[in-house]
Amino acid sequence: MTKLDTIRIMNAVDIIIKKRNGAELSRTEIDDFINGITAGTIPDYQAAAWLMAVYFQGMTDRETTDLTLAMAASGEQLDLHDVLPGTVIVDKHSSGGVGDKTTLAVGPIVAACGLPVGKMSGRGLSFSGGTIDKLESIRGWSAEVSEAHFRRQLRAIGLVVAAQTADLAPADKILYALRDVTGTVPSLPLIAGSIMSKKLAAGADAIVLDVKCGRGAFMETLTDAQALARQMVAIGTLAGRKVTALITQMEQPLGLAVGNALEVQEAIAALHGCGPADFQELVEVVAGEMLLIAGAASDLGNAREQVSAVIDNGHAFVRFCDFVASQGGDPALVEHPERLPAAPLVIAVPAPSGGYVHALDAREVGLVTLDLGGGRQKKGDLIDPAVGVVLAAKVGSTVNAGETLCTVHAASRAAADAAIPRLQAAYTIATQPAAPLPILLDRVTG
- Using CB under 6 A, list all residues that contact ligand URA: 95-96, 122, 125, 191, 194-195
Distance of closest approach, residue 189 Cβ to ligand URA, in angstroms: 10
On the CB side of 404, CA atoms within 13 Å amount to 10
Choose the catalytic residue: 179, 212, 304, 315.
Answer: 179
Distance of closest approach, residue 430 Cβ to ligand URA, in angstroms: 33
Contact 172, 198 (CB under 8 A): yes
Closer by beta carbon to ligand URA, 239 or else 309: 239
Closer by beta carbon to ligand URA, 52 or else 195: 195
The residues, ordered by sequence, that sit 6+ positions from 331 with a Cβ below 8 Å of its Cβ are 321, 324, 325
Closer by beta carbon to ligand URA, 175 or else 297: 175
Closest residue to ligand URA using C-beta atoms: 194
Contact 427, 393 (CB under 8 A): yes
Can you give the length of the chain in residues? 446
- The question of whether 336 is a catalytic residue gets the answer no
Distance of closest approach, residue 195 Cβ to ligand URA, in angstroms: 5
Distance of closest approach, residue 128 Cβ to ligand URA, in angstroms: 7
Closer by beta carbon to ligand URA, 122 or else 375: 122
d(CA 117, CA 289): 13
Choose the catalytic residue: 19, 123, 173, 198.
Answer: 198
The secondary structure of residue 296, as a DSSP letter, is S
Closer by beta carbon to ligand URA, 97 or else 355: 97
Element of type H or E holding 356: strand 355-360
Distance of closest approach, residue 308 Cβ to ligand URA, in angstroms: 29
| DSSP per position, 210-224 | EEEESTTSSB-SHHH
Choose the catalytic residue: 93, 151, 212, 215.
Answer: 93
Choose the catalytic residue: 95, 194, 197, 326.
Answer: 194
- The question of whether 379 is a catalytic residue gets the answer no
Closer by beta carbon to ligand URA, 131 or else 137: 131
d(CA 65, CA 234): 9
Distance of closest approach, residue 95 Cβ to ligand URA, in angstroms: 5
Distance of closest approach, residue 122 Cβ to ligand URA, in angstroms: 5
Dihedral in degrees, nearest 10, Cα atoms 160, 208, 283, 388: 70
Element of type H or E holding 245: strand 242-249
Dihedral in degrees, nearest 10, Cα atoms 49, 51, 53, 54: 170
Choose the catalytic residue: 172, 278, 322, 384.
Answer: 172
Identify the sign of the CA torsion 379, 385, 386, 391.
positive
| DSSP per position, 89-137 | PEEEEE---TT--HHHHHHHHHHHTT--EEEEE---BTTB--HHHHHTT
d(CA 221, CA 256): 23
Contact 142, 327 (CB under 8 A): yes
Distance of closest approach, residue 193 Cβ to ligand URA, in angstroms: 8
Closer by beta carbon to ligand URA, 192 or else 343: 192
- The question of whether 173 is a catalytic residue gets the answer no
- The question of whether 198 is a catalytic residue gets the answer yes
Closer by beta carbon to ligand URA, 55 or else 427: 55
- The question of whether 194 is a catalytic residue gets the answer yes
The residues, ordered by sequence, that sit 6+ positions from 358 with a Cβ below 8 Å of its Cβ are 395, 428, 429, 430, 434
- Rounded to 5 degrees, what angle do the CA atoms 318, 320, 323 make? 110
Catalogue the active-site residues. 93, 172, 179, 194, 198
